[in-house]
Amino acid sequence: MALLSHSLTTLNRAKSFMEIGGAQDDDLITSLINMVSDFAESYCDRRFLETAYSNELYDGNAFDKILLKQYPISSSETFTLQVRDSADNSGSFTTIPAQDYFIKYAQGIVQYVNGSFADIPQHYRASYTAGYAFDNDGGGATLESLSIGDLEYAIWKLITAAYKNRRVSPNVVSESIGDYSVTFRKQVMIDEELRAILDKYRRPSGF
């Protein structure tokens, strides 16, 4: 069982939190890490691992700003904003000069200096890099070292709950013994402490 590169903790860090020393359940815990990490990303509607995105399409909204699908935006990587050359579904785009807009890197917001984004569907596209540069494979940065350790703590808590209650918990909707495929009832799995943490990282729905 391999840990996904975007998973939000490592096997050793999760086992340390769970106070598990042996290796007999490593495959199970790894599977739970992957599953809970995917659940957290789905709940928060974003990918946390730093990733490059190319030509993401956005609707215009008649406002002076748009919210990108991913954040925080990396200020050290290239950011490109383009506008479609016509209002129809043309494949031709023109790059908007960088001096015409501001980027709010932490929030993932692009804001025009003057003017607004035309209220035309799929009229803009952006290429950028966003997320946190943690490293589960090479022993590099952890979520804690990037000042988002509370998110990793939430992952640990969810993994621990799943591990302890996997046989008898009503939180489990379905279970496949082969690869330990589990679906959880969200409203039961997330207590108020965890909800407060995950909501902190949840992508806003709009302005």
Q: How far apart are CA 76 and CA 54, in angstroms?
A: 16
pLDDT band at 49 (very low <50, low <70, confident <90, very high): very high
Q: What is the pTM of this model?
A: 0.87
Ordered structural domains, the chain, with CATH:
11-47+136-200 (no CATH), 51-130 (2.60.40)
Q: pLDDT (tens digit, 9 = 90+) per residue, 147-200?
A: 999 999 999 999 998 888 776 655 555 555 344 455 555 444 678 999 999 999
HSE, side-chain direction, 13 A CA sphere, residue 175: 14
Least confident of 12-26, 33-47, 112-126, 187-201: 187-201
**% of the chain residues with pLDDT over 90:** 78
